[in-house]
Amino acid sequence: MKILGKYPAVRLRRNRKYNWSRRLVAENNLTVNDLILPIFVVEGKNKIEPIKSMPGAYRYSIDKINNVTNKVNKLGIPLVAIFPHTPHKKKNSLGTEALNEDNLVCKAIRRIKRNNPDIGVMADVALDPYTIHGHDGILKKKEILNDETVEILSKQAVLQAEMGCDVIAPSDMMDGRVGVIRKALDKNNFKNVQILSYAAKYASNFYGPFRNAIGSRQRSKINKKSYQMDYKNSSEALREVALDIKEGADFVMIKPGLPYLDVIKSVKENFKIPVFVYQVSGEYSMITNAIKKGIVDSEAVIESLMSFKRSGASAIVTYFALDIAKKISN
């Protein structure tokens, strides 16, 4: 007879023993419906340019955009986000190229909606791809002007909606912009165009590779701390989210991802709105480089995405979207 009481009656390892039982008790799952793919676009023809700062990511000229959106369509990724690499000569201090109906983003929206009408298209509202200083708003005497910027952003939003954009995503962190954009969209009969507000966007050190990708990186580091959030804070993120919901946001974004899992979780617990997360370029490049060097296994990508699901995210903007969609649909 065995001695009773030596071991605990509850053994959590029992459920982990087999693959089938691990699958039965899985609390979270990642599907293709959780993914949003950013697409970088560039001027010119016949271009699929590798981005040095982001190994495995590319910039597409408009005529080549099919190449990626057909894959998105086939894999069933619901939404793509367009980011333009604006040539330097089209930038100025006010970012007026943002309002040009033939700018790269507008062309990309039209092209995707024509070729793959079933894919949702999202575009950022912010001036950083178009300003020479790389800031998201108008710079005057070292200050980013709030209300003047919001006025331009609401025009940018309406223009993008006119092009067929489904989801308008203000990523500028100006105060009051969601309300003004909502009003402008409604006034122009775009009642059904959704707003994904980057509600809690932190002044982060993880955006570097993206700034290279869109050509907004400056010789000296750009400091966006007067409008993007301080990484010391989390209650403030709840205030940002509360305001954006009141102003009419349909979903809210937390950005970056991995260093802000606590914020995703508390936003989800406090508001019953869909929460999206942006796994940003620095996270992407760090993980990609670590996999390349054999420091971590490639499954680390899924592990990182699953952490967002655990925290309560409904969807994830990630440069891994194509790869992962392929992997999980097999």
Pair of tokens at residue 200:
């809690």
Q: Does 139 bind ligand PBG (CB under 6 A)?
A: no
- CB atoms under 10 Å from CB of 196, counted, come to 28
Stretch that binds ligand PBG, among 188-196, 203-211, 242-250, 321-329 (CB under 6 A): 203-211
CB of 288 to ligand PBG, least distance (A): 13
136 is an interface residue for ligand PBG by CB under 6 A: yes
- What is the sign of the dihedral through the CA atoms of 232, 238, 243 and 244? positive
How far apart CA 216 and CA 193 sit, in angstroms, is 28
Q: Kindly calculate the radius of gyration of the chain based on its CA atoms and give it in whole angstroms.
A: 21
**Of 6-14, 57-65, 124-132, 234-242: span binding ligand PBG (CB under 6 A):** 124-132
Q: Quick check: is 268 catalytic?
A: no
**CA 288, CA 300: separation in Å to the nearest integer?**
9
Catalytic member of 201, 224, 268, 309: 201
Closest by CA position to 200, among listed 239, 232, 168:
239
From the CB of 105, what's the least distance to ligand PBG, in Å? 12
Residue 211 engages ligand PBG in binding (rule: CB under 6 A): yes
Residue 97 sits in the site that holds ligand PBG (CB under 6 A): no
Query: What are the backbone angles phi and psi of residue 23, rounded to the nearest 5°?
Result: -65, -40
Query: CA 205, 209, 31: angle at the middle one, nearest 5?
Result: 95
Q: How many residues bind ligand PBG (CB under 6 A)?
A: 11
Smallest gap from Cβ 51 to ligand PBG, in A, equals 11
Does 320 engage in binding with ligand PBG (CB under 6 A)? no
Q: Find residue 160's DSSP bridge partners.
A: none
Out of 64, 91, 224, 255, pick the active-site residue.
Answer: 255
CB 251 within 8 A of CB 271: no
201 is an active site residue: yes
Q: Which of 126, 152, 181, 185 binds ligand PBG (CB under 6 A)?
A: 126
Q: Does 251 bind ligand PBG (CB under 6 A)?
A: no
State which amino acid sits at residue 183: K
Catalytic residue IDs: 201, 255
Q: Which residues bind ligand PBG (CB under 6 A)?
A: 124, 126, 128, 136, 171, 207, 210-211, 224, 280-281
